[in-house]
Amino acid sequence: MPTTRTLIVVAALAALTLSSCSFRESGPFATGSYVERQFDSGPYGGEIEGRISLDDVHLPALARLHLPLRTALQAAAAEAEASGVDMYLTSGWRSAAYQQRLFDDAVVRYGSADEARRWVQSPDRSKHVTGWAVDIGPTDADDWLIQHGGEYGLCQTYANEMWHFEMADTTGGGCPVPSSDASSDRAESSR
């Protein structure tokens, strides 16, 4: 009986060694595809679970914004906070793949690509993908930013999205009037 037990232990050890070898051998390939997938999804693709602080600069959603936009936001958030309004990032930089998923979801939700474009831009048009747009929350912070954002060059871009802000030239004072929705950009650029 002890002999059988020994054999079982030896067999188990052999199996363990074999499986760890084969794991190591397939490692580089598995890692390669894993990393590739990770770069355009989850936090690496700019996805945010709920909201993040404007100090969470290690997260790609914030880190991959252009510096003037990020610093303007941080300055605005500090002033808002001083007047009792907490400000968070609900979406910032997005990978093209993440933006495509949002757009595809919107097409399903709104029934057509034209209707979806009123709310979500395709990756080739989205300022989130180029790192020049942010979504801000909660509503109190949006209200604050609509009122004071112009002092920082931060302007509401679309009348139907009170949370979406982009940088604008506000040296003349105040923000330009927002477009009615994101689809009006398309009409403008196709002109």
Binding site for Zn ion (CB under 5 A): 135, 164
**Would you list the DSSP string of 102-126?**
HHHHHHHHHSSHHHHTTT---TTT-
Residue with Cβ nearer Zn ion (34 or 89): 89
Residue with Cβ nearer Zn ion (117 or 164): 164
| Smallest distance from Zn ion to CB 67, Å | 19
Q: Name the residue with the smallest CB distance to Zn ion.
A: 164
| Smallest distance from Zn ion to CB 68, Å | 18
| Smallest distance from Zn ion to CB 153, Å | 17
Cα 16 to the chain's mean position, in Å? 41
Closest CA to 165 of 155, 173, 174, 180: 155
Cα–Cα distance, 181 to 53 (Å, whole number): 27
Residue with Cβ nearer Zn ion (27 or 68): 68
- Tokens found for residue 36: 């590739």
| Smallest distance from Zn ion to CB 132, Å | 11
- Tokens found for residue 79: 């002033």
Burial grade of 131 (CB within 10 A; 0-12, 13-18, 19 or more) = buried
Residue with Cβ nearer Zn ion (40 or 135): 135
